[in-house]
Amino acid sequence: MPSLADTQRGFSAAVFASDPGSIRPWIRANGLSPERRLGLYRNNTFLGLSEALRDGFPVVHRLVGTEFFDALARSFVAEHPPRSGCLLDYGAEFPASIAGSELAASLPYLPDVARLEWAWHEAFHAAEAPAFGVAELAAVPPERHTQLSLRLRPSVRLLASPWPVLRIFHVNQPEYSGDPSIDLDRETGCRVLVLREGAEVLLHPLSAGEFACLERLSREGSLETAFEAAIRAEPGFDLPASLVRLMGLHVFNHPARFAGGALP
Amino acid sequence: MTQNKTIVTSTLAAVVALGLAGNAGAAEKKADGDKCYGIVKSGKNDCKTLSNACAGHSMEDGQKDAFLVVPKGTCERIVGGSLEAPQGGK
């Protein structure tokens, strides 16, 4: 008698790798062959996970059509059994899988569209947290400003792409009624701020300076490294005005942290 | 240390001044002036289930060979670009 772990591994191999070898002896035929019984599970698993991907990546789906999307999804599912019991977690590696797929090689912007969609998905499901804005900053004594460390709220994501993925995303929304044509030779890449406000996810374009600043802060950078990176990234960058704008968008987490201890 | 902290103190002082001294409007204006596509989506709140039970009940492997499939969607409206990333992206 195999152990539970062996049984599960054998079942997983039958479903994901079409290899029923180790589980087959333990399945009673009873009117249906073990292969056909396993086929039921295999189809349900692949269809269920593919459907989860379709829900998570609606723009990719729309761009390539159902038949092609299902082919992409199928090769992904075979390589990536779920590692979480929650279906909402499924698909994090899908953008990288598209990037590595020969199938989608003629659509070089597709992986970044998928990354944007996953950022949207993550932002939507991230924890809620209060924001640190201008009023909160004003309550901090100026002599403590150098000890301040700003972090992004859990529902904030950043994405930079050499492709106009924000426009591609926009013109492929079901409610978009304009011309969905995009000429990649005329349009440039973009930097995108993805954040949830209430129950809605918003996408804002960022300047080079804003992106550099937020990117440093997202990697636990100090304020001075973030500010210096921003000014380096964008000549003539108006750092204070941009910070006021970003604070107005509720990008930063509250309470802000201090190197020297508790909040004032 | 003193040198590079200056950027922090001067910037944050300017943020407070700009944000509180009635200049918030100016900063707001800058925000509005930026092209925001206004992509707002309400989220899905569905409990994920296998809704395709019917299709899933097939016992055969009905999937097509992936290499026979070509993209057929709105990507047909995206032209140019060849395989090179456009200049000026990052």
User: Can you tell me whether residue A253 is helix, strand or coil?
Assistant: strand
pLDDT of residue B82: 55
Q: Is B32 on the interface with A (CB under 8 A)?
A: no
**Residues 6+ away with beta carbon under 8 Å from A65:** B71, B72, B73
Q: What is the pLDDT of residue A30?
A: 87
pLDDT for residue B1 is more than 50 = no
| B83 in contact with chain A, both atoms CB, cutoff 8 A | yes
Reported as a single tens digit per residue, the pLDDT across B19-36 is 887 655 544 444 443 444
Which residue in this structure is represented by tokens 């301040």? A148
User: What proportion of chain A, given as a percentage, has pLDDT over 90?
Assistant: 78
Contacts of B54 in chain A (CB under 8 A): none
Q: What is the mean pLDDT of chain A?
A: 92
- Is the CB of B29 inside 8 Å of chain A's CB atoms? no
pLDDT at B20: 84
pLDDT category at B52 given cuts 50, 70, 90 is very low
Q: Say if the Cβ atoms of A48 and B83 lie within 8 Å.
A: no
CA pair distance B13, A263, nearest whole angstrom: 18
Report the greatest alpha carbon distance in chain B. 71
Encode pLDDT of A123-149 as tens digits: 999 999 999 999 999 999 999 999 999
Q: What is this structure's pTM?
A: 0.85
Partners of A251 on chain B (C-beta within 8 Å) are none
- CB-based contact A39:B61 (threshold 8 Å): yes
Tokens of A196: 């949830």
Band (B90; pLDDT cuts 50, 70, 90)? very low
Q: B80 and A184 in contact by Cβ < 8 A?
A: yes
Whether a cis peptide bond, with omega within 30° of 0, leads into A58 is: no
Adjacent-strand bridge partners of A131: A253
Contacts of B64 in chain A (CB under 8 A): 67, 71
Q: How many CB atoms lie within 10 A of CB A87?
A: 18
- Rounded Cα distance between A167 and A70, Å, is 24
Res. A60: pLDDT tops 70: yes
Residues A39, B26: C-beta atoms closer than 8 Å: no
Which residue from A minimizes the CA distance to B11?
A240
Alpha helices in chain A (DSSP H): 4-16, 34-56, 58-64, 66-79, 94-99, 110-125, 134-138, 165-171, 208-218, 223-233, 239-248
Mutation target to probe the A interface, by most A beta carbons within 10 A, among B2, B10, B15, B28 is: B15
List all residues of chain B from 56 to 75 with a beta carbon under 8 Å from chain A.
56-64, 66-67, 69-75
**Above 70 in pLDDT, residue A231?**
yes
pLDDT tens-digit series, residues A248-260: 999 999 876 776 5
- Pairing mode, if any, of strands A190-197 and A257-258? unpaired
